[in-house]
Amino acid sequence: MLEHLRLLSRYNQWMNEKLYNTAAQLPADELARDCGAFFGSLLGTLNHIVVADIIWLQRFSEHPAQHPALDRLRAMPKPQALAQTLHDDFSALSEERRRLDSTIIAWCGQLNASDLNHKLAYRNMKGVASIKNYGSLTLHFFNHQTHHRGQATTLLSQQGLDVGVTDLLALIPSD
């Protein structure tokens, strides 16, 4: 599972780079235009992914191993809402995305097999308590990103922009 998580962390970074490079072709007003997506605009969708990543990484940072890669997240203020706009400026959002992706890769590199068996206690954004398997939650974390990147690529496609290949298959090495 560790190798799968590390592959997913690289895929995450690769896809975010492609997504943000493509989105950078749009003017600011088009990035922020409400397209009827769940989080309104492309900028809203990208902000949501960053917000959710911060929320989950802050939860993951509570692991007893205290993975050093997550130190910055422990010090950050907690987002207040899933639709919170952290950055109206695309450049600032892009920089935060790059920092998060580097953090995710470093964190996955610090995980060991026993870390994944931990039962993580956390509260969702409504305050409801849960205790779930850490390893399974990491899979949710990556799946959530993929889900919303799919929405973002659709919004870009509607603008006539092609992100290119998006399949994880592109990063799986040949044997």
What tens digit of pLDDT does each residue of 77-134 get?
999 999 888 999 999 999 999 999 999 999 999 999 999 999 999 999 999 999 999 9
pTM score: 0.95
Neighbouring residues of 8: CB distance < 8 A, sequence distance ≥ 6 = 108, 142, 168
CATH 1.10.620.20 describes domain 2-171: no
**What's residue 34's pLDDT?**
95
- Residue spans of the domains in the chain: they are 2-171
Residue 155 or residue 83, greater confidence: 155
Q: Which tokens in the block code for residue 87?
A: 């950055």
**What's residue 118's pLDDT?**
97
Report the C-alpha dihedral over residues 69, 146, 47, 151, rounded to 10 degrees: 170
How far apart CA 54 and CA 129 sit, in angstroms, is 18
**What's residue 83's pLDDT?**
85
Average pLDDT value for residue range 59-80:
96
Kindly provide the b/e burial profile for residues 137-162, where b requires at least 16 CB atoms within 10 angstroms of the residue's own CB: bbeebbeebeebbebbbebbeebeee
Is residue 26 pLDDT above 90, yes or no? yes
Neighbouring residues of 149: CB distance < 8 A, sequence distance ≥ 6 = 15, 16, 19, 49, 166
In terms of Cα–Cα distance, which of 27, 56, 14, 15 is closest to 152?
Answer: 15
In terms of Cα–Cα distance, which of 117, 114, 155, 135 is closest to 8?
Answer: 135
**What's residue 77's pLDDT?**
94
Q: Share the mean pLDDT of the chain.
A: 96
How far apart CA 124 and CA 86 sit, in angstroms, is 19
In terms of Cα–Cα distance, which of 27, 52, 5 is closest to 148?
Answer: 52
Measured in degrees and rounded to the nearest 5, phi and psi for residue 164 equal 95, -160
**What's residue 175's pLDDT?**
86
Is residue 3 pLDDT above 90, yes or no? yes
How far apart CA 121 and CA 48 sit, in angstroms, is 23
**What's residue 84's pLDDT?**
85
